[in-house]
Structure 1
């Protein structure tokens, strides 16, 4: 996609301006990559923090995120629609303008996809699942 362009036909000032733009673009890309890396690291930390440890006694009646014991009548927990784990009321994040909610990990996963633009590529793949397979149909 990227082509090499000869800058020999340009004047010195024009070359300097173009190179400055390219350096700024590279700096912006590096900052964006660092921002995305931090978001994904935070999400991974939330996943590890909420993971059930093998060394801990596994209890079915505990929150999948904070491991708080769930009650029989009060704070029984509810199943997250995103990951199907039972979570306590403290580990739920309600979505704006709706009564729907997600657990803290699913909510953060959603935020990372929004902030990084991953949602766009996922939706495009859903909408055009056969992209790249057309040539096989004609053979």
Structure 2
């Protein structure tokens, strides 16, 4: 029964104070790591947007995109700097601005590769469909339960609880 699991309260009352504090610290580290990952993904999103703008401006210049790498603007030369077509955006890039994907047997330009990494890292489908249904779950649920316990007993200072 899916509804009963979500409705259960998290009971951490059997933990000793030391165990509760240790769990609190672990959950706090988890939140900090999540924040760092969010910041990294936000930076990646900004880089992708810049590359998209650049490709949008240059992508319409057919004579340029056929003879030069869309990313670094180096001219294509037969053996020295050969051109490859990106599997995702279909634009031409040089070897140094792309990666070969063995699984797909083709080249992916660095901006499209960044976009792939971003999609995997953000798990948009997860956040839109699964996470939105559960307001308090996992470490957030543990954190809430421990905060009430630890804060209510006043045995720990605000800095012990991760406060500033």
User: What's the TM-score once normalised by structure 2's chain length?
Assistant: 0.48
Counterpart in the other structure of 1:42: 47
Q: Over aligned residues, Cα RMSD in angstroms?
A: 4.1
* Equivalent residues of 1:62, 1:69 under 8 A apart: no
CA separation in 1, counterparts of 2:43 and 2:7? 28
Gaps of 5+ in 1: 122-139
Counterpart in the other structure of 2:88: 82
Secondary structure in 2 matching 1:62: helix
User: What's the TM-score once normalised by structure 1's chain length?
Assistant: 0.54
Correspondent of 1:28 among 4, 29, 33: 33
Q: RCO greater where, 1 or 2, for CA within 8 Å and sep 6 or more?
A: 2
* Equivalent residues of 2:86, 2:108 under 8 A apart: yes
Q: CA deviation at 1:70?
A: 7.6
* Equivalent residues of 2:85, 2:93 under 8 A apart: no
CA separation in 2, counterparts of 1:50 and 1:107? 14
* Equivalent residues of 1:65, 1:91 under 8 A apart: no
CA separation in 2, counterparts of 1:88 and 1:11? 60
Equivalences for 1:3-82 in 2 at 5 Å? 4-52=9-57, 58-63=60-65, 65-66=70-71, 79-82=85-88
Structure 1 runs (4+) deviating above 6 angstroms are: 96-99
Aligned residues: 115
CA separation in 1, counterparts of 2:94 and 2:8? 54
* Equivalent residues of 1:61, 1:70 under 8 A apart: no
Correspondent of 2:114 among 64, 83, 108: 108
Note closer, same or farther for the CA distance 1:80–1:18 as it changes in structure 2 (3 Å cut). Answer: closer
Gaps of 5+ in 2: 1-5, 126-164
